[in-house]
A and B are shown apart, each in its own frame.
Chain A
Amino acid sequence: MLPSRDAGIDRYRCRVHGNRSVTSSVGRSAEPQLSRIVAISPDDGSAIDLRNPALAAVLSWAVPGLGQLYQGRTTKGGLFMAAILTTFVLGLWLGGGKVVYASWKPGDTRWAFVCQAGAGLVALPAVVQSAKLLGPARQPLFLSSFMAPPLAAGQYVSRAYADQLARHDPDIQPDDFFDKPPLKQFRRDQLAQWHRQLGKFFDIGTLYTMLAGMLNLLVIYDAWAGPLGPSDEEKKRREAASASPTASSPVRAS
């Protein structure tokens, strides 16, 4: 059943769960063909207007749930946004703002960031900080260590960033840097310091942020193709319920 808002559309291309694809035409074939991609709700069989699925998927990657909001699925969009972003920020908070960083240095390749990047723009500062710290300036944006990769032994940083770390990080002293004008060279392993400082929260925070990013992949798929539909077990249960003469509310076929 298609909702009344779609009455003026000539052609529907329905992407249904699985590999089924249904194309139906609704009159007025002489007029220019308008196509709209819709998904079928597994719950009541109604059509879900996916608008531009590719754009919705990109929006859902950028900000979890934004693609669903763009499609007019406000409840799900708000739900996804609140759940994913809360988990990501909670993980970041548990990890003291240090668990999300991008690093591809030998010996400290941060593969967890591949999963964390799935959460979208909230992980973007890590890329910016990494690029700035390894760039010609040798210091992160605003001299903030937030989402900046840890300093490895022997790494060169700007004097301003070294002074900033020595002032604000209780684990770093001014003599932890060799003076190599115009830069300074770190002589310890900051990642080991983080592990010692945060203990289990480094791993818990990493897990939270990784899971938020990975679950957002499902949200992106939902924006692109609509709901996946119930599991086979749930389908059998529904069929059994609808076949039973005592079933009170049979579910419409999707």
Chain B
Amino acid sequence: MVATTTVTLTTVLAMSPWLFDTPLVGMLAGRVPGIFFGLPLVALASLIFAATHHEDPAAIRLATVHWTVWLGGMLGIVLAAVLLLGWLQ
């Protein structure tokens, strides 16, 4: 495990200038509106919450949908309130 970690660490450090090239990030991600970067995080949190509460894959899938709707709904309400406040000012 130590050897694997060392090899991985060395490879990533050596490749870092190409792996994390910032102009590429700017080109690809710069066109996406910032709010959409929150969607993968909602999906990730829902998936992890669901998977840590269940063991059966079917139950995990169902709970993921429930968590996504709940989290997305709550954040959507907050976003709508913020937009409304901004619009009223």
Contacts and interface: CB of A to CB of B under 8 A. Distances in A.
The DSSP consensus for interface residues of chain A is helix
Interface stretch (A3-11, A151-159, A175-183, A197-205): A197-205
Interface string B37-78: 100110011011101111111011001001000000000000
Contacts of A146: 12-13, 16-17, 20
- Number of chain A interface residues as a range: 35 or more
Contacts, number: 111
B29 interface: yes
B83 interface: no
A208 B41 contact: yes
A92 B13 contact: no
Interface residues of B, number: 34
Interface of B: 5, 9-10, 12-14, 16-17, 19-22, 25, 29, 34, 37, 40-41, 44-45, 47-49, 51-57, 59-60, 63, 66
The DSSP consensus for interface residues of chain B is helix
A44 interface: yes
Given A204-B37, A215-B44, A48 B13 contact: no
Contacts of B13: 125, 141-142, 144, 146
